[in-house]
Amino acid sequence: MSPQLRILRVLREQLPVYGALVALTVFIVVPFLWLLTSTVRPVAELYVYPPRWIPQTFTLVAYQKAFQTFARPLINSAGYGLVTAILTLVVACPAAYSLTRLNYPGKRGMTGIFLLTQMLPFVLLLLPLYIIYLKLGLYNTRLGLIIGFTALTVPYSVLLLRSFFAGLPIELEEQAMIDGCTRLGALWRIVLPLSTPVLVAVVLSSIVLVWNDVLFTIFLSKDLEVQTASVALYRFFTVRSASGGVAQKEVMLAGGVILTLPVIVLFTFLQKYIAAGITAGALKG
């Protein structure tokens, strides 16, 4: 078969796949581009028909109002996400390492418990958590939300790290311990440096869970001062609508962009580590 015919055959076989991918990309990207253009135009231009892709007047007033409205919730989301990610690593790394390298009674049962937590619908935990938080005085507190977020992220992170650690050569750790390292030292100096991709995946999954959460925060808090940005945006719309007021559309649109862009940027620049970490953690062990 000639090279030209071979190329045509490959193109004919792959054209439906690429066509579907292009259509899916357009379906996802076009609404977001429209959202972006809607946030940099005056309110009056939002209701112009037929709609225009390029605004006649460029303005950033919507973002100014959005930052004024959601300043505290944005800080809360960023703070909760970073603290949750750090606590998740502190708890999940030793736990996953012990499940991989150490032998002790109840090891298999502990792994089964972590797996069970991933099978239960999250909504089943809300009422028991609400009652526990009320009795412990953690309801509507920053500490309570951080503890809750960490409890949500640790089981998945332990299972992911466990699978990755199981694929690392144990001889590296044995050599380090022969040279004088303790078990904890081998984890810190040998295992964790080799686990950068999966650690990045754990950190990002923890941050994104906190950043996007609505249901958990609404159940375990009531004041906007301690709630996340996603909940603040939700409340901004529902409270105004329920009271008979009209929600400021430009502020809602700008708030949606502000909430979406950080996640897109993180995944864009760190997608190599995310893909490598999740794939390695899923296939090893």
Distance CA 107, CA 53 (A): 58
Q: Are residues 25 and 99 in the same domain?
A: no
With respect to residue 148, please indicate whether it lies within any of the assigned structural domains.
Answer: yes
The structure tokens listed for 274 are 């995310």
With respect to residue 47, please indicate whether it lies within any of the assigned structural domains.
Answer: no
Q: Are residues 266 and 201 in the same domain?
A: yes
Q: Are the C-beta atoms of residues 196 and 274 closer than 8 Å to each other? A: no
E-strand stretches of the chain:
none
pLDDT of amino acid 203 = 92
With respect to residue 64, please indicate whether it lies within any of the assigned structural domains.
Answer: no
Q: Are residues 252 and 165 in the same domain?
A: yes
pLDDT of amino acid 151 = 92
pLDDT of amino acid 280 = 57
**Prediction pTM value:** 0.83
Q: Are residues 16 and 120 in the same domain?
A: no
| Among 197, 206, 203, 167, residue whose Cα is nearest residue 275 | 197
With respect to residue 177, please indicate whether it lies within any of the assigned structural domains.
Answer: yes
Which class for 224: exposed (0-12), middle (13-18), buried (19 or more C-beta within 10 A)?
A: middle
pLDDT tens-place values along the chain, 285 residues long: 566 667 667 677 778 888 888 899 899 888 888 888 888 888 777 777 777 788 888 888 888 888 888 889 999 999 999 999 999 999 999 999 999 988 888 888 888 888 888 888 888 888 899 999 999 999 999 999 999 999 999 999 999 999 889 888 888 888 888 888 888 888 888 899 988 888 988 998 899 999 999 989 999 998 889 999 999 988 887 765 544 444 577 788 888 888 888 888 887 777 776 666 566 555 444
Instruction: Give the contacts of 174 (CB within 8 A, at least 6 positions apart).
Output: none
In terms of residues, how long is the chain? 285
Q: Are residues 252 and 114 in the same domain?
A: yes
Q: Which helix (H) or strand (E) holds 29?
A: helix 3-38
- What are the DSSP calls for 63-109, one per residue? HHHHHHHHHHHHHHHHHHHHHHHHHHHHHHHHHHHHHHH---TTHHH
Distances (CA, A) of 98 to 31, 89, 102, 205: 46, 14, 5, 22
137: CATH: 1.10.3720.10
| CA-based radius of gyration for the chain | 24
With respect to residue 62, please indicate whether it lies within any of the assigned structural domains.
Answer: no
Which structural domain range is residue 188 located in? Answer: 69-283
For the chain, how many structural domains are there in total? 2
With respect to residue 202, please indicate whether it lies within any of the assigned structural domains.
Answer: yes
Q: Are residues 29 and 87 in the same domain?
A: no
Q: Are the C-beta atoms of residues 99 and 107 closer than 8 Å to each other? A: yes
pLDDT of amino acid 4 = 66
